Amino acid sequence: MKILSSGGAGGPNDTQSRGLAQFLTQRVGQSFVVENRTGAGGIVAGEACVKSPPDGYTLCTFGSGAIGWTPVLTHMPYDPIKDLTGVFHMGFIDSIISAHPSVPADSLGDLVALAKAKPGYVTWAAFGLTTSSYFYVKWLQKFKKVQILIVPYKTAIQAQQAVVSGETMVNIYTAGQTIPMIKAGKVKALAINSDKRLPELPNVQTDAEAGFDLPLVRSWFGMLAPAATPREILLRLNSEMNQVMGDPKYAELYMRRLGFRDAHMDVDQFNAFLRKNRADFEKFAREMGLEKK
């Protein structure tokens, strides 16, 4: 069985996709192989998925941007809601707004104050125009009235590496992969994008605590299949994946370590979530004045 991952190698999508493939292979006795199909905000993977036979042998993993933002802001050759169907919610993911140690700001409030004092001075590494990293800074620009220079990168890892090297000042990236960088002194945490503080960083405020209650920025990942895939196959796959999520070894390696939180959704709940998420993103785009291109 084939899993098409829209994420870059080594990123959270790719890493968890490979973890699921490994544990599912062991569990069901059938080989699951991951292929990376990156590019165009998830459209490359999505188009390949839509064109695959709906027999359950091709599954596809996406981040929230590819399913939520890309169809809202981009004219696409397919509609993720109509042409794909949800199989399994892979979890929500906590993220950290972090900065290079040389940046003269120790909190998100400090960063906004710096951006107001020096318009265009602060640089923000964004990985794609339909991702949480991009919309987080766009929200700051619009509602906090700051000029922050957005520097585009192809993948989340490249954006974070740019902050580590000092090429760019700030980014938002997954908690599981950012915390080791913080402990090593490579970056510093400004705020947590989550509904509660992280036990590893108890003194770092959430963005809401700091007065930055941004809607729809929290990332999630999910597995989908071609729309006509038989329901019985979807139910079986969802059941097997929920069993994998309940494995303590998997939870430690591919959930807690990466900063994922289990969403606990069945097939119907996940598809209802996808529809609501699309509606929420459309509303947010209108509020931000963003138009489809």
Query: Which residue, among 217, 171, 179, has the nearest Cα to 201 in the 3D structure?
Result: 179
The DSSP code sequence of 44-70 is HHHHHHHTS-SSSSEEEEEEHIIIIIH
Query: Which residue, among 111, 99, 107, 162, has the nearest Cα to 141 in the 3D structure?
Result: 111
- Is pLDDT at 73 greater than 90 in this prediction? no
pTM (two decimals): 0.82
> How far, in Å, CA of 226 to CA of 282, rounded?
23
Could you give the percent of the chain with pLDDT greater than 90?
69
What domains does the chain contain, in order, with CATH numbers? 2-93+218-288 (3.40.190.150), 95-193 (3.40.190.10)
> Lowest-confidence range among 10-19, 81-90, 238-247?
10-19
pLDDT tens by residue, 76-104: 999 999 999 999 999 998 899 999 999 99
pLDDT tens by residue, 27-51: 999 999 999 998 888 899 999 999 9
Q: Which of the four pLDDT bands, split at 50, 70 and 90, describes residue 62?
A: very high
Residue 162 has a pLDDT of 98
Residue 232 has a pLDDT of 98
pLDDT tens by residue, 162-189: 999 999 999 999 898 899 999 999 999 9
Q: Which of the four pLDDT bands, split at 50, 70 and 90, describes residue 151?
A: very high
> How far, in Å, CA of 164 to CA of 101, rounded?
9
Q: Which of the four pLDDT bands, split at 50, 70 and 90, describes residue 216?
A: low
